[in-house]
Structure 1
Amino acid sequence: MIDVQRLRVLRAVADHGSFNRAAAALRLTPSAVSQQVAALERSLGAPVVARSTRGVTLTQAGLIMVGAAESVAAELAHARRQVDRLGTGRGRLTVATFTSGGRLLLPGALARFTAAHPGTVVHVRECEPETALPLVRRGDADLALAYHFDGPLPGRPGSPDAGLAWTPLLADPLHVVLPRAHPLAGREALDIAELAAEPWVLGCTKTESYLRRHAERVGFTPEVRGTTTDYFFARSLVAAGLGVSLIPSIALTPEEPAVRVVPLVPPAPARHLGVARIGRRADADTETLVGALREEAARVSGSGCAGGTPPTP
């Protein structure tokens, strides 16, 4: 029998990267953390961490057990909410969402959801996918409205997100945003290689990483003159002439009259928006909200609010 407390300790070690920091988070001594991990390894007959002077890293067995620890925590949190509902008659649903996706999709979806489940209290937590998905895996959120670029969903390095079900909602193409007077502003589409000499202003660190990867493929290193965590701020800096930007479709409203939006030539890079939740569970509240988000994504895609934004006239 695997001890749940030992799994909890291992998860803390994985999150914090050392016994000392995990001990501080759990309010235990480092020796107690070490003993719990050693006991787990004896019960499994396999090492779960590799120790070094730089800290600890998970072995393959450790990655498997951390995934199991997160699944157990999520199931226990779900069970606790179900028991609370028996006592109060009211459900509770926690949604984690990134800013631009939540602004676009959540209001309409929540209106549909509330009409169908008026007795359920909804809590919304704003955070990026790298924070939101662990919240779902741990049971601290019931679902996450998230996104990813090329490749898999963001998660713990080396660990598959087998416990998460991903429901695609829409594609969110990236567009070039230039000052209205820019010589390339009249183009119908641009290749990213044509922007090699341009300074850049970026509104998201992940977009910057994506730009650098694509720029490397075509042979240039972007000169980044501005970085923000806000696409609207990035557009205002473009309008002021600081540089050009790469911005997802859903962050292009409301319009900024001093800039010009130009699509990239196909295949255009895009974010992929979707909903992540624990795959083995299908309670009525969660499934209703996922359905409402799918309906809202279909509505905004059909109205031209996402999946492609025409150039600013």
Structure 2
Amino acid sequence: MIDVQRLRVLRAVAEHGSFNRAATALHLTPSAISQHVAALERSLGAQVVARSTRGVTLTQAGRIMVGAAESVAAELEHAKRRVDQLSTGRVRLTIATFTSGGRLLLPGALARLMAAHSRTVLHVREGEPEDTLPLVRQGAVDVALAYHFDGPLPVGPGPSSGMEWIPLLEDPLHVVLPETRRLVGSDVLDLAELAAEPWVLGCLKTEAYLRRYAERAGFAPEVRGTTTDYFFARSLVAAGMGISLIPSIALAPEIPGLRTVPIKLPRPIRHIGAVTISRSDRPHVTTLVRALREQALQQGQ
């Protein structure tokens, strides 16, 4: 039988990339980490990590076991919550969200959830998808509001992960520019028309996305500022620093002196959805996902 503690150790090694950092995270010694990994390898009859002077990497067998470790951790967390529900009569639900999506969709959806399940204890945490989706897979988060652009999710749901992606909204990106700019009279803009413009952007992923689209349009954008807040980015546009690329749901509240212009097809789009662990015995999660869909439909009307 495989020891659960050894799986936990392997997960930490995979996450931190070395025995020393895994030891620090688990409050163990590097020697204890090495012994747990060696014992796991003996029980499996296969090597799970490849050691080098630069750290450790997972073997194919190791990757399989880390996936199993995450599934076990999620099951144990789910069981713990069910036991807690037996003793308290309350269901605890943890929701993770990125800022703009949470501001738009969560308040109405949570109100619907509480109307149907008034004794639910809610916890909301903010974070980007690359940070929150692993927590869904591990069972620490029940539902995550997430997004992706034209590539895959940071942690792709699929048959091996047990994660489910529920699409909610398509969120086109728009050009935001001062009303004094020469392009404000256009009803729609081609990115190639913006080749000479400086940019200030609201997140690092938007910058990477802009650079990909700009390369297709034949230019390299001059980025003069990158923030972690779309409102701040628009404020810098209003101050005359440049123009910006902003998702539709991050265009409110309005800032005087700015104009928003759609981009010609094929326009860049941010895809917003909810991510859960596929499971049929979680009525509170089902209610919340339904409420998120209803809230998203309202926004699209």
Q: CA deviation at 1:221?
A: 1.8
Q: Could you say which residue in structure 2 is the equivalent of 1:194?
A: 193
Q: Residues of 1 paired with 2:248 and 2:61: CA distance?
A: 41
The secondary structure found in structure 1 opposite 2:6 is: helix
- Structure 2 matches for 1:91-170, cutoff 5 A? 91-155=91-155, 162-170=161-169
Q: Residues of 2 paired with 1:266 and 1:58: CA distance?
A: 42
The secondary structure found in structure 2 opposite 1:242 is: coil
The CA RMSD measured in Å over matched residues stands at 1.5
Q: Residues of 2 paired with 1:220 and 1:267: CA distance?
A: 17
Q: CA deviation at 1:279?
A: 1.3
User: Is 1:155–1:161's contact at 8 Å kept on the other side of the alignment?
Assistant: no
User: Is 2:137–2:161's contact at 8 Å kept on the other side of the alignment?
Assistant: no
Q: CA deviation at 1:97?
A: 0.5
The secondary structure found in structure 2 opposite 1:167 is: strand
Q: Residues of 1 paired with 2:168 and 2:35: CA distance?
A: 45
* Matched residues, number: 300
In structure 2, the CA distance between the partners of 1:209 and 1:293, relative to structure 1 (3 Å rule), is same
Q: CA deviation at 1:281?
A: 4.7
Q: Residues of 1 paired with 2:49 and 2:220: CA distance?
A: 38
Q: Could you say which residue in structure 2 is the equivalent of 1:208?
A: 207
User: Is 1:172–1:249's contact at 8 Å kept on the other side of the alignment?
Assistant: yes
Q: Could you say which residue in structure 1 is the equivalent of 2:34?
A: 34
68-77 or 228-237, which moves further after superposition?
Answer: 68-77
Aligned residue identity for 1:243: G
Q: CA deviation at 1:61?
A: 2.3
Q: Could you say which residue in structure 2 is the equivalent of 1:48?
A: 48
Q: Could you say which residue in structure 1 is the equivalent of 2:89?
A: 89
User: Is 2:195–2:221's contact at 8 Å kept on the other side of the alignment?
Assistant: yes
User: Is 1:198–1:243's contact at 8 Å kept on the other side of the alignment?
Assistant: yes
In structure 2, the CA distance between the partners of 1:64 and 1:193, relative to structure 1 (3 Å rule), is farther
User: Is 2:23–2:29's contact at 8 Å kept on the other side of the alignment?
Assistant: yes
Q: CA deviation at 1:289?
A: 0.4
Runs (4 or more) in structure 1 with deviation over 6 Å come to: none
Q: CA deviation at 1:45?
A: 2.7
Q: CA deviation at 1:21?
A: 0.3
User: Is 2:178–2:237's contact at 8 Å kept on the other side of the alignment?
Assistant: yes
Q: Residues of 1 paired with 2:232 and 2:185: CA distance?
A: 23
Unaligned ranges ≥5, structure 1: 303-313
Q: CA deviation at 1:135?
A: 1.3
Q: Residues of 2 paired with 1:41 and 1:123: CA distance?
A: 38
In structure 2, the CA distance between the partners of 1:219 and 1:57, relative to structure 1 (3 Å rule), is farther
Unaligned ranges ≥5, structure 2: none
Q: Could you say which residue in structure 2 is the equivalent of 1:227?
A: 226
Q: Could you say which residue in structure 2 is the equivalent of 1:267?
A: 266
Pair 1:258-2:257 in alignment: yes
The secondary structure found in structure 2 opposite 1:246 is: strand
User: Is 2:50–2:58's contact at 8 Å kept on the other side of the alignment?
Assistant: yes
In structure 2, the CA distance between the partners of 1:174 and 1:160, relative to structure 1 (3 Å rule), is farther
Q: CA deviation at 1:208?
A: 0.8
Aligned residue identity for 2:271: H
Q: Residues of 2 paired with 1:161 and 1:131: CA distance?
A: 19
TM-score scaled by structure 1?
Answer: 0.92
Q: Could you say which residue in structure 1 is the equivalent of 2:68?
A: 68
